[in-house]
Amino acid sequence: MPLDRQEVEKIAHLARLTLNEQQIPFYASNISKILDLIAQINEADTDNIVPMAHPMEHLTQRMREDKVTETDQRELFQAIAPSTEAGLYLVPKVIDEQ
């Protein structure tokens, strides 16, 4: 099932990626081939099959007690951040000035 340019651009946007003009046909062709490979799953009859939710079937995700276990390591973590000020992570302005 070949994807067209618009579909590729839409997926890229949803994934918060940008592709330049020359890359689009390359991605469209490769992703279409991968989707063809994936389409083989339709060969299997899965009526009445319960989807596998965990690779260890009889197990489920463990819950932990609702207790604070982490200590405050803000300075350590922010030391590797691209841009911070007064203990806050900086991003471009998201609210317009009136």
> Rule CB under 8 A: which residues touch other proteins?
8, 11-12, 14-19, 27, 30-31, 33-35, 37-44, 46, 49-57, 59, 61-62, 64, 73, 76-77, 79-83, 89, 91-94
- Minimum CB separation from other proteins for residue 55, in Å? 3
- Minimum CB separation from other proteins for residue 96, in Å? 10
Q: Where are the alpha helices (DSSP H) in 39-73?
A: none
- Minimum CB separation from other proteins for residue 6, in Å? 13
* Nearest CB to other proteins, comparing residues 80 and 98: 80
> Strands 88-89 and 84-85: what pairing?
antiparallel
Cβ atoms of 74 and 87 closer than 8 Å: yes
Tokens of 18: 């940008």
Rounded to whole angstroms, the Cα distance separating 25 from 47 reads 37
Which of 65, 67, 89 is closest to 77 using CA atoms?
A: 89
* Nearest CB to other proteins, comparing residues 21 and 43: 43
